[in-house]
Amino acid sequence: MVRKATIRDIGAIHKLLHMYGVKGELLPRPLSNLYDHVRDFSVYADPGDNRVLGCCALQFCWEDLAEIRSLAVHPDYVKRKIGSKLVETALSEAASFNIKKVFALTYQPDFFRKFGFKKIDRSELPLKIWSDCIMCVKFPNCDETAMMLEMDSLITSR
């Protein structure tokens, strides 16, 4: 079940992000940053014991632009559509705020293509979004793929 994250979920979110961060598959986030952004997160919780099995954040960047970030699913639960449910929830939330474009920086472009995201040049993104990149071990040699979804195309394709 997907639900908004709570303060009690931050420890589990931090562990998930750290797991993928040490492998260099996503940008790890400090615990203090997660508390600052808890309202950005949704989690997939096990219906039986409410254990967090996945997480995803939707961060607003501008009046019409948001980013899907920190998408992670516990390795034991990959390939069970948890990541897809989290992205669908984030896109639904973006639509409810009348966001026109949603982007992601990812090592899994094929996953995001399933939702209608298209590869873009990173230079198309506003400079403001690069502030977190300074913390990345790969800065300034980012090898993630920038992907953008025009929300109008999502609405018209359904």
For 82, the enclosing helix (H) or strand (E) is helix 82-96
The pLDDT of residue 139 is 54
User: φ and ψ at 128, to 5 degrees?
Assistant: -55, -35
Per-residue pLDDT reduced to its tens digit, 38-55: 999 999 999 889 899 999
The pLDDT of residue 44 is 98
94 in Cβ contact with 58 (< 8 Å): yes
- The count of other CB atoms within 10 Å of the CB of residue 62 is 12
For the chain, what percent of residues have pLDDT higher than 70?
A: 86
The pLDDT of residue 158 is 43
Residue written as token pair 């793929």:
145
Q: Which domains does the chain have, with CATH numbers?
A: 2-156 (3.40.630.30)
pLDDT band at 134 (very low <50, low <70, confident <90, very high): low
Compute the chain's Rg from CA coordinates.
Answer: 15
- The count of other CB atoms within 10 Å of the CB of residue 110 is 9
